[in-house]
Structure 1
Amino acid sequence: MKTFECSNCGQITFFENVVCEHCGMPLGYVPEIRAMVEFQPGSDLFWSPVNSTLVERYRPCNNYVSQHICNWMVAESDQNAWCRSCRFTEMIPALSIPENLHRWFLLEAAKRRLIYSLMQIGLPIPDRDRDPARGLRFNFLADSPQERVLTGHQDGVITLNIDEADDATRELKRTRMQEPYRTLLGHLRHEVGHFYWQHLICESRWLEGFRALFGDERQDYQQSLDHYYATRSSSDWTGAFISEYASAHPWEDWAETWAHYLHIVDALDTAANWRARIGSAQPSSPFPEASAPMTIEAFEAALMRDWMPFTLFLNSMNRSLGQKDSYPFVNPEAVIRKLCFIHQVVLAARVASPEARGY
Structure 2
Amino acid sequence: MDAGRYVDADGVPWYVCRNLNLSGCTWLTAEDGGQCEACDLTRTRPNDADVVGLVNFLPSERAKRHLLAELDILGFPVVNKADDSVNGLCFDLLSSVAEDVITGHAEGVVTIDLAEADNAHREQVKSQLNEVYRTMLGHFRHEVGHYMEWQLVENGGDDVLARARELFRDETVDYQETIDRHYREGPPEGWEESYISAYATMHPYEDFAETWAHYLHICDTIQTCVEFGLVAEDTVTVDGPFRDLVTGVWMPQTTALNMVNRSMGKDDLYPFVIPAPVLDKLEFVASLRPAA
Normalising by the residue count of structure 2, what TM-score does the alignment of the two structures yield?
0.93
Amino acid at match of 1:158: V
Structure 1 runs (4+) deviating above 4 angstroms are: 281-286
Asked if the contact 2:42–2:92 (Cα under 8 Å) also holds between the matched residues in 1, the reply is: yes
Name the counterpart of 2:52. Answer: 99
**Does the 8 Å contact 1:174/1:181 carry over to 2?**
yes
- Residue of structure 2 equivalent to 1:320: 263
SS of 1:90's equivalent in the other structure is strand
Of the structure 1 ranges 231-240 and 174-183, higher mean CA displacement relative to structure 2 is found in 231-240
Would the aligned equivalents of 1:93 and 1:104 in 2 still touch at CA under 8 Å? yes
Question: Out of 72, 91, 104, which is 2:27 matched to?
Answer: 72
TM-score, normalised on structure 1? 0.76
Q: Say whether residues 1:154 and 2:106 are aligned partners.
A: yes
Amino acid paired to 2:193: G
Per-residue CA shift, 1:141-178, capped at 9, x if unaligned? 12255x41000001111111111000000000000001
What are the superposed Cα offsets for residues 163-220 of structure 1, whole Å, 9 maximum, x if unpaired? 1000000000000001000000000000000000110011422100000000001110
Structure 1 residue 134: Cα displacement? 3.2
Tell me the number of residue pairs that the alignment of Structure 1 and Structure 2 aligns. Answer: 290
2:139 alignment partner in structure 1: 187
Q: Deviations over 1:121-153 (max 9, x none)?
A: 0011121244212311111112255x4100000
| 8 A contact 2:187–2:202 mirrored in 1 | no
Q: What SS does structure 1 have at the residue aligned with 2:112? A: strand
Structure with the higher fraction of residues in helix conformation: 2
How much identity, in percent, do the aligned residues show?
Answer: 37
1:308 to 251, 266, 285: 251
The one-letter code matched in structure 2 to 1:270 is T
Tell me, yes or no, if the aligned pair for 1:194 and 1:251 is still in contact at 8 Å: yes
One-letter amino acid of the counterpart of residue 189, structure 1: R
Unaligned runs of 5+ in 1: 1-39, 287-293, 355-359
Matches of 1:47 and 1:68, distance apart in 2: 19
Which piece of structure 1 moves more, 317-326 or 204-213?
317-326
The letter for the 2-side match of 1:211 is: R
Q: Which amino acid aligns with 1:228?
A: H
Aligned to 2:34: 81
Aligned to 1:337: 280
The aligned counterpart of 1:251 is 205
Going from structure 1 to structure 2, the CA distance change for 1:136 and 1:335 (only over 3 Å counts) comes to same
Pair 1:61–1:213, CA change in 2 (3 A): same
Preserved CA contact (<8 Å) 1:276 1:282: no
Are the structure 2 counterparts of residues 284 and 195 from structure 1 closer, same or farther at C-alpha, using a change threshold of 3 Å? farther
d(CA) in 2 for partners of 1:233 and 1:194?
20
> Does structure 1 residue 62 correspond to structure 2 residue 18?
yes
- From 171, 183, 192, the equivalent of 1:238 is 192
8 Å CA contact 1:61–1:70 kept in 2: the answer is yes
Verify the 8 A CA contact 2:17 2:33 in the aligned structure 1. no
Q: Deviations over 1:84-137 (max 9, x none)?
A: 211100111133232322211100000010000000000111212442123111
CA RMSD, Structure 1 to Structure 2 (Å) = 2.0
The aligned residue for residue 119 of structure 1 is 72
1:54 to 1:107, Cα distance in 2 relative to 1, 3 A: farther
Pair 1:270 & 2:224 matched: yes
Q: 2: distance between equivalents of 1:98 and 1:163?
A: 12
Contact 1:272 1:283 in 2 (8 A): no
Structure 2 portions without partners, runs of 5+: none
Structure 1, 113-122 or 228-237: larger mean CA deviation? 228-237
Amino acid at match of 1:86: C
Distance change >3 Å, CA 47–CA 149, structure 1 → 2: same
- Structure 2 counterpart of 1:10: none
* Cα separation, 2, equivalents of 1:102 and 1:323: 27
